[in-house]
Chains A and B, each alone.
Chain A
Amino acid sequence: EPEVTQTPSHQVTQMGQEVILRCVPISNHLYFYWYRQILGQKVEFLVSFYNNEISEKSEIFDDQFSVERPDGSNFTLKIRSTKLEDSAMYFCASSTQGRVNYGYTFGSGTRLTVV
């Protein structure tokens, strides 16, 4: 079964450093998403991306965050200057259609630890 692949599975970075989280969505999917889950809290929406543009973003997704689809397969989330509170599990997701009721396919996540 096709899956969303995220690398690395765990990343440790120093506060203030830039970090790039990578995702390879399912090949025929057109919509891409980033969510995050701080330990013990709910899964939170960050951003959605379609046709090389941001479709929707949350309040969390401020100027420190950016997304990019640099080629036909990868979808990245960049955090420019990491803070301790950015420590979380980051999930990439993709969908073949924009209809939420079909569900999105999530990757296994990247655990980001900011020290």
Chain B
Amino acid sequence: DQQVKQNSPSLSVQEGRISILNCDYTNSMFDYFLWYKKYPAEGPTFLISISSIKDKNEDGRFTVFLNKSAKHLSLHIVPSQPGDSAVYFCAASAGDQAGTALIFGKGTTLSVSS
């Protein structure tokens, strides 16, 4: 039962261009969404989040867009840099209470070439 889906296992982008990573979810109870980045041999690192009451959140080169009616979110990285090459996980939660479980997608491997 995949409540959070990242349908593209990989994405290749040239340095300086935009990277767009997509995520779909099925559970209408989700109201917080997060993106994590993971390098090999490291744990996931929090990047950016968005609440369901917003449709956009921006932090430097990273912007997350949420389309609640389509149950879709995307992460835009502009401009992409070689150091952005990693696995990107979309995650969601139903509520922001203490100890809330994050439900992760399978991840998308981003490769940025110079």
Residue numbers of A with Cβ under 8 A of B are 4, 31, 33, 35, 41-45, 48-50, 55-56, 58, 91, 93, 97-109
For B, the interface residue count at a CB cutoff of 8 angstroms equals 31
Closest 5 CB pairs of A and B: A98-B98, A103-B46, A55-B99, A106-B43, A48-B99
In the complex, whether B96 has a CB less than 8 A from a CB of chain A is yes
Is the pair A49, B99 in contact by a Cβ cutoff of 8 Å? Answer: yes
Residue numbers of B with Cβ under 8 A of A are 2, 4, 32, 34, 36, 41-47, 49-51, 89, 91, 93, 95-107
* Known contacts A43-B44, A91-B43, A91-B44: A100-B32 contact under CB 8 Å: yes
| A74 → chain B closest CB, angstroms | 17
* Known contacts A107-B43, A109-B43: A58-B99 contact under CB 8 Å: no
User: Please, how many angstroms separate the alpha-carbon atoms of A43 and B36 in the complex?
Assistant: 11
| B residues near A104, Cβ cutoff 8 Å | 46, 102
